[in-house]
Amino acid sequence: MATRLWLYAGAALLLLLTSAALFAPLVSPYNPLQQNLEQDLITHSAQHLLGTDKLGRDMLSRIIFGARISLLVGASTVALSLLIGVGVGSLSGYVGGIADLLFMRLIDILMAFPGILLAIAFSAVLGPGLDHVILALALIGWTGYARLVRGEILSLRERDFISAARALGCRPQRIIVLHLLPNLLPPLLIQATFGLAAAIVAEGSLSFLGLGVSPPTPSWGSMLNEGRQFLLVAPHLTTYPGIALMLTVFALNLVGDALQDRLGNRSR
Amino acid sequence: MKRYLLYRLALLLPTLFGVLTLVFLFIHLTPGDPVDIMLGETASAADRQELRQILGLNQPLAQQYRSFLINFLRGDLGRSLYEGRTVAAMVTERYPATLELALCAMSAALLISFPLAIWSAVRRGRWTDRATLMFSLLGLSMPNFWLGPLVMIIFSIQLGWLPVSGRGGADHLVLPALTLGLGMTALLIRILRTNLLRVMGEDYVQTARAKGLSERSVWLKHTLRNALLSLVTIASLQFGSLLAGSLITETIFSWPGIGRLTMQAIEMRDYPLVQGCVLMISLSYVFLNFITDLIYKWVDPRITYGN
Amino acid sequence: MPRSLYFFSIGLVFTVSLAACRPTHSDQPSGYLVAAIESYPLQLDPRYATDANGVRIGNLIYNSLLRADSQSRLRPELAESLRLLDDRTYAVDLRQDVKFQNGQVLTAADVKFTYESILDPNNRSPKRGNLKPLRAIDQTGPYQLRFHLSAPHSPFIEQLTLGIVPANSRSNLAVPTQAPPGSGPFMLEAADPGEQITLRRNPHYWEQQPPLAGVIFRIIPDALVRVLEFKKGNIDLMQNDIEPDMVPWLEKNTGADVGAYPGTTFQYIGINLTHPILKNVQVRRALAYAIDRESLVTHLLKGIGTVAGGVLSPLNWAYEENVEHWPYDPERAKQLLDEAGFPDPDGDGPLPRFRLSFKTTNIDLRRRVAEAIKEQLQKVGIELDVRSYEWAAFYSDIKKGSFHLYSLAWVGILDPDILFQIFHSSSFPPAGDNRGHYSNPELDRLLEQGRATNNQQERKQIYARAQKLLARDLPYVPLWWWKNVIVKKPIVQNFTPYPDGEMISLKQTRWAANGQ
């Protein structure tokens, strides 16, 4: 019962964040890019509930629009990582042999290489831009999913129902799509919720290295980075985007945990 | 055991080769030219060409890659383009600082996460469990570049308990190790808790309980043993992200380690130095996981290898 | 479980004991001044140092024939006299009372060696290009030498500010050694890579002994952390690289002595003149009218800058004040753009007249400035695409000429001949740094004349005309000259700020009487 309550709370929070992101132009009080250099670093006022940043832009509007960017980065990164990860993982797990050996080495290599450096390299090669940030994050993020899928498939393929399907002459693609993937869904879903949170935070780290989304586009990560130097004089520049980020991670994890409690153990 | 060791060693070779290749490609394909940065504004085109030749940068990439591999096998990592010292010397000089920080962060993460996870699992669903999870979420949602200055301001400026930055005695380690380790702590708590819950529900534990073993010995003999094993594996797998995290943490905490050196080398496009640093980071990770695997195998010989 | 726990505890004990063995910072020798700098110097040897910290610290260890003073005027240091024998030969008499830090006397042979060592291609010195006009150096006596140039080249005098090392010092890149000894007020005591550089007072120093026992340069990469360390009392002095809004905070919360002093570092917007829109001078003038530099300096720089009217700073001897200025006037900008044939398709609506990309480095403040400029240009109908890059990638793009607009700064400019390298039509990359491909035969002639003339008054007139031309043609839009911000504890006295950010006045800096 309690579990369900937490799930609902998390889901409601996520819904709220997503709708804020979707309807950002309707709900945000100002244009998030509108500057006013004379009205900088206001803590809060009747006009600006959460104050303004160094360029006099409304913080509330930037956080609402930032939800858009951050959730987009998170979701796209996870989707792309899943695509690559599930592809490689199921190929590796189902086909086995040389393909498996090669893919697993590739993953070993990528995991040994500091992810942030790969992201630096990708961003430098591709140039700045939102889509490039997503691509860079996905290219370092897929290995976890691939390992997960491979492991699950290895344990599933020995099960009776798969052997039966194989004995009946089902084609491998069919077996993967019809029999294996549905069983893979719960663990993947759980991992994806955590991955989404991680990707949003990782975009922040890229911002710190100067490789995040291009200015003046607001993302929570870039806002945290822009506000960092003002921690002593205007802490609200980092506190609010920080809270937004924490709430999102919190909501995602509530949902992830609840899913895990409900689905995670059942699938075994 | 000996066969297993050989098998693992054989698997290490392609990984090593791949890491070498990736390290080489990573820095050489990244835009930016060390010759431009080295010679500054006044050099002539001829000077540039000449320096490029001396450094071997005018050769085709495949050729450079070959000499990089050959030199590596000879144990020669080259010299820094700017400082002229051997990369090996510069990297070994900085490595202890990073190792100190990373090991401390990892130990802190293990020390904090282990009891918290057990507590959380035992009192599943109660407010202590929730509080622990909340704490771990804090760790997952605070990027190091924000967390670092925040703890400096609180613990060093306002409370005055600890030094701000730099390397020194044990007190200098606390803040950077906490900053670096918090993410890992959070992750370990979550994974460990899930594992504990899973093991507690499994047949053999239930059987042991049914056999009338005391709750205490069920915990010690079965549950914890299992949890600890998985903890070591996860911790060593996560060691990679810890080392990667040191790139940012060391910059913020003015920590004279290899992470800071890597960032500076990348900024300057000091090819040999970048290669040396990244190799050192990657190889420590590979090595640690190799050792963990062996320990794991030793502790739990049931584990099979290959498929 | 016990076995794995055992390993784990071994690891822990090992780590903690490792840390406990290290000395703490508290055993710093007293009387040493601690200054914070951003990055570890790559080279101290003056034949190789090109990074700002390497040069600045190096200038405390090494002397040069001439040295710029706190007003940016070249003054003799090791040179007792400097005479022009004909239009291309300089005769130098050295002081005879100068010793290196190892006790050896500094003679003309050392000077000759230093210059020749740079000219030797085997030594791979990045400064070789600067010495191109130098044909030969002759030693005419133990303390006398002559520099022979291949043609009259007045800016060569700037090359006499090069630090002198003892003869037969080994070249750093071929054989790595510690930095060779110098003859300056301080000597290298210790170098802890990535951590700090410690200098000690040079007991053999030929001028007055420095009052400070030594200087410790602590490497603190993050600007906020430098402020925190200062607040904590661990830093005595820091210069520049500070968030402007932190300055009032420091004054209020730390009792620091904070000052902003005129500097020569020149911030500008570089323009690609091969671009079909930007090659139109009306467009460039519109850009200059549309940027409200006054507001940027007031709000974003908090006054740590002076709005620039031209390219050379007012501290430069060749500065010409009487050039065309482009005050903020968005209406005039719109009018110019209309006249140039780029009408706004929908008046004040969202559609721009045209789009340009604006490249900048990813330093926080630079990026913020770029965002504000984007907003200002939007008001006259120009859409800017701000793209921020990590330094090396940015620099390589700019060098290649792959940009529409970019922002960068000139640092440490002494001689107006810099204009040749930047705006002469023979300086198109890769030969020089005319990255925007500006070409004006009249300016070319002036710049050639300027470097071939030895009389400073005549040169001043020539460069005045050059500056007027540049202000009209606007191959650069000038933004501002940065001020140097000095933050120090009140007990640090006699530290004179230099316009180019040099820290040479540390040699006369002392503690207040009641201080340490």
Question: CA neighbours within 13 Å on the CB side: how many for C383?
Answer: 11
- Residue C232 is nearest to which of B30, B110, B164, comparing CB atoms? B164
CB atoms within 10 A of CB A210: 23
CB atoms within 10 A of CB B74: 8
B13 Cβ contact list (under 8 Å, min separation 6): none
pLDDT tier, A3 (very low <50, low <70, confident <90, very high otherwise): low
- Residue B146 is nearest to which of A111, A113, A238, comparing CB atoms? A238
Q: Do A200 and A212 contact (CB within 8 A), yes or no?
A: no
The pLDDT, as a whole number, for residue C172 is 66
pLDDT tier, C93 (very low <50, low <70, confident <90, very high otherwise): very high
Where would I find the beta strands (DSSP E) of C338-415?
354-361, 382-389, 405-410
Read off the pLDDT of each residue in C233-241 and give the average, rounded to a whole number.
94
- Residue A124 is nearest to which of C299, C388, C393, comparing CB atoms? C393
- Chain C interface disruption, residue of A205, A232, A238, most C CBs within 10 A: A232
CB atoms within 10 A of CB A136: 26
Report whether the peptide linkage leading into residue C262 is cis, meaning its omega lies within 30 degrees of zero.
no
Query: Nearest C-alpha of chain C: how many angstroms from A56?
Result: 10
The pLDDT, as a whole number, for residue B296 is 74
Whether chain B has a CB inside 8 Å of the CB on C131: the answer is no
- Residue B103 is nearest to which of C15, C173, C219, comparing CB atoms? C15
Lowest mean pLDDT among A183-192, A259-268, B131-140, B233-242: A259-268
Instruction: Answer yes or no: do C132 and B267 touch at CB < 8 A.
Output: no
pLDDT digits (tens, 9 = 90+) for A98-148: 888 889 888 888 888 888 888 888 877 887 888 888 998 998 889 889 988
- Nearest Cα neighbor of C78 from C62, C91, C95 is C95
- Nearest Cα neighbor of C434 from C267, C270, C266, C264 is C270
Instruction: Answer yes or no: do A128 and C389 touch at CB < 8 A.
Output: yes
- Nearest Cα neighbor of C247 from C257, C237, C232 is C257
Lowest mean pLDDT among B139-153, B200-214, C96-110: B200-214
Instruction: Answer yes or no: do C299 and A40 touch at CB < 8 A.
Output: yes
**Partner A, chain C 251-290, Cβ-Cβ below 8 Å:** none
Helical residues (DSSP H) of chain B, grouped into ranges:
2-29, 34-39, 45-54, 61-73, 87-122, 127-141, 144-151, 170-201, 203-210, 215-218, 225-252, 258-268, 271-299
Secondary structure letter of residue C66 according to DSSP: E
The pLDDT, as a whole number, for residue B9 is 84
pLDDT digits (tens, 9 = 90+) for C25-65: 444 556 899 999 998 888 899 998 888 899 999 999 999 99
Read off the pLDDT of each residue in C301-327 and give the average, rounded to a whole number.
93
Instruction: Answer yes or no: do B169 and C20 touch at CB < 8 A.
Output: yes
Gyration radius of chain A's alpha carbons = 22
The pLDDT, as a whole number, for residue C173 is 59
Residue A247: φ, ψ to 5°: -60, -45
pLDDT digits (tens, 9 = 90+) for B247-268: 999 999 999 999 999 999 998 8
| Contact residues on chain C for A224, CB-CB shorter than 8 A | none
The pLDDT, as a whole number, for residue B119 is 84
Cα separation of C106 and C164, whole Å?
A: 9
Instruction: Answer yes or no: do B85 and C176 touch at CB < 8 A.
Output: yes
Read off the pLDDT of each residue in C106-115 and give the average, rounded to a whole number.
96
Whether chain B has a CB inside 8 Å of the CB on C514: the answer is no
Cα separation of A176 and A183, whole Å?
A: 10
State the first-to-last Cα distance of chain A, in angstroms, to the nearest integer.
Answer: 22
CB atoms within 10 A of CB C294: 12
ipTM > 0.85 (yes/no) = yes
pLDDT digits (tens, 9 = 90+) for B226-240: 777 777 777 887 888
Cα separation of A204 and A197, whole Å?
A: 11
B25 Cβ contact list (under 8 Å, min separation 6): none
Which chain B residue has the Cα nearest residue C230? Answer: B164
B22 Cβ contact list (under 8 Å, min separation 6): A109, A110, A113
Read off the pLDDT of each residue in C155-160 and give the average, rounded to a whole number.
93
Query: Nearest C-alpha of chain C: how many angstroms from B170?
Result: 5
Cα separation of A142 and A77, whole Å?
A: 9
The pLDDT, as a whole number, for residue B242 is 87
Residue B247: φ, ψ to 5°: -60, -45
Question: Does the structure show a pLDDT above 90 at C80?
Answer: yes
Query: Nearest C-alpha of chain A: how many angstroms from B98?
Result: 14
- Residue A208 is nearest to which of B14, B138, B143, comparing CB atoms? B143
User: In 3-state terms, what secondary structure has residue B44?
Assistant: coil
Lowest mean pLDDT among B287-301, C62-76, C495-509: B287-301
Whether chain B has a CB inside 8 Å of the CB on C24: the answer is yes
| Contact residues on chain C for A234, CB-CB shorter than 8 A | 245
Instruction: Answer yes or no: do B163 and C224 touch at CB < 8 A.
Output: no
Report CA-CA distances (Å) from A124 to A42, B144, C499: 35, 22, 35
For chain C, give the mean pLDDT. 89
- Residue C12 is nearest to which of B84, B107, B157, comparing CB atoms? B107
The pLDDT, as a whole number, for residue B303 is 52
pLDDT digits (tens, 9 = 90+) for C118-141: 999 888 888 888 898 999 999 999
Of how many residues is chain A composed? 268
**Partner C, chain B 117-176, Cβ-Cβ below 8 Å:** 149, 152-153, 156-157, 163-173
Chain C neighbours, 3+ Cβ pairs < 8 A: A, B
Amino acid (one-letter) located at C513: A
Six token digits for residue B101:
């920080």
With vertex at residue B268, the alpha carbon angle to CA A225 and CA C33, rounded to the nearest 5 degrees, is 75
Read off the pLDDT of each residue in B128-155 and give the average, rounded to a whole number.
87
- Chain C interface disruption, residue of A36, A37, A62, most C CBs within 10 A: A37
Beta bridge partners of C476: C270
Question: Does the structure show a pLDDT above 90 at C270?
Answer: yes
User: In 3-state terms, what secondary structure has residue B150?
Assistant: helix
pLDDT digits (tens, 9 = 90+) for C332-362: 999 999 999 999 888 777 889 999 999 999 8
Q: Which one of A254-258, B285-289, C281-285 scores highest in mean pLDDT?
A: C281-285
The pLDDT, as a whole number, for residue A157 is 72
Whether chain A has a CB inside 8 Å of the CB on B282: the answer is yes
Cα separation of A240 and C487, whole Å?
A: 31
Q: Do A221 and A210 contact (CB within 8 A), yes or no?
A: no
**Partner A, chain B 167-186, Cβ-Cβ below 8 Å:** none
Instruction: Answer yes or no: do A215 and C367 touch at CB < 8 A.
Output: yes
Cα pseudo-dihedral A116, A122, A123, A125, rounded to 10 = 140
User: In 3-state terms, what secondary structure has residue B19?
Assistant: helix
Cα separation of B289 and A107, whole Å?
A: 14
For chain B, give the mean pLDDT. 84
Whether chain B has a CB inside 8 Å of the CB on A208: the answer is yes
Chain B neighbours, 3+ Cβ pairs < 8 A: A, C
Six token digits for residue B182:
């918090």
Work out whether strand C237-239 and strand C354-361 pair parallel, antiparallel, or are unpaired. Answer: unpaired
For chain A, give the mean pLDDT. 85
The pLDDT, as a whole number, for residue A149 is 87
**Partner A, chain B 286-305, Cβ-Cβ below 8 Å:** 286
- Residue C392 is nearest to which of B86, B254, B267, comparing CB atoms? B267
Cα separation of C41 and C53, whole Å?
A: 5
The per-residue b/e assignment along C231-241, b for 16 or more CB within 10 angstroms, e otherwise, is bbebbbbbbbb
Whether chain B has a CB inside 8 Å of the CB on A81: the answer is no
Instruction: Answer yes or no: do A128 and C388 touch at CB < 8 A.
Output: yes
State the first-to-last Cα distance of chain C, in angstroms, to the nearest integer.
Answer: 57
pLDDT digits (tens, 9 = 90+) for C397-437: 898 889 999 999 998 888 999 999 999 999 888 778 899 99
Question: Does the structure show a pLDDT above 90 at A238?
Answer: yes
Read off the pLDDT of each residue in B32-38 and give the average, rounded to a whole number.
82
**Partner B, chain A 100-129, Cβ-Cβ below 8 Å:** 100, 105-106, 108-118, 120-121, 124-125
Taking each helix axis as running N to C, give the angle between helix C391-400 and helix B258-268, from 0 to 180 degrees, rounded to the nearest 10.
10
Where would I find the beta strands (DSSP E) of C45-130?
66-68, 74-76, 79-86, 89-94
Six token digits for residue C356:
């340009």
Question: Does the structure show a pLDDT above 90 at C10?
Answer: no
Secondary structure letter of residue C179 according to DSSP: P
- Chain A interface disruption, residue of B17, B123, B141, B247, most A CBs within 10 A: B141
**Partner C, chain B 59-78, Cβ-Cβ below 8 Å:** none
pLDDT tier, B90 (very low <50, low <70, confident <90, very high otherwise): very high
Q: Do B196 and B262 contact (CB within 8 A), yes or no?
A: no
Question: Does the structure show a pLDDT above 60 at C19?
Answer: no
- Exposure of C203 by Cβ count < 10 A (0-12 exposed, 13-18 middle, 19+ buried)? exposed
More confident residue, A155 or C467: C467
User: In 3-state terms, what secondary structure has residue C127?
Assistant: coil
The pLDDT, as a whole number, for residue A150 is 87
| Contact residues on chain C for B265, CB-CB shorter than 8 A | none
- Chain A interface disruption, residue of B146, B179, B236, B284, most A CBs within 10 A: B146
